[in-house]
Structure 1
């Protein structure tokens, strides 16, 4: 993936995160993402930095969604 594509994906994930926080009325844990100090607008940062940020924000979003998800019902035959 090219750097420009990673920056675009990074921006999209940041928007998804903001939208999810508003819709679910929660706060996504971004400690790892915040520590990186890389934002979608940080075009001077390296491709590797943006890749790490994409993974960090995606992990934060999915972890929050897992907390909200209902436990799966096991499939059993009657």
Structure 2
């Protein structure tokens, strides 16, 4: 993946994070991502930095989604 593509993905995940916080009315735990100091607008940062940031924010989003999952959906065919 090229650096420009990683930055784009980083921006998209940042928007997903913002939207999830609006839906849930609470902050997601992405402290490790925030500690990195790499934002989608940090275009001067390296490709490796953006890749690590993408993994951290994605981990925070998926953890929040797993915690929000309350019950199983019964398997049914339409």
State TM-score, norm by structure 1. Answer: 0.88
How many pairs are equivalent?
75
Structure 1: gaps spanning 5 or more residues: none
State TM-score, norm by structure 2. Answer: 0.88
Matches of 1:26 and 1:67, distance apart in 2 = 13
Q: 1:71 Cα deviation (Å)? A: 3.6
RMSD between aligned residues: 1.5
Structure 2: gaps spanning 5 or more residues: none
Matches of 2:72 and 2:3, distance apart in 1 = 38
Matches of 2:28 and 2:54, distance apart in 1 = 14
Q: 1:24 Cα deviation (Å)? A: 1.6
Moved segments of 4+, more than 2 Å: 71-75
Matches of 1:28 and 1:7, distance apart in 2 = 21
Larger radius of gyration between Structure 1 and Structure 2: 1
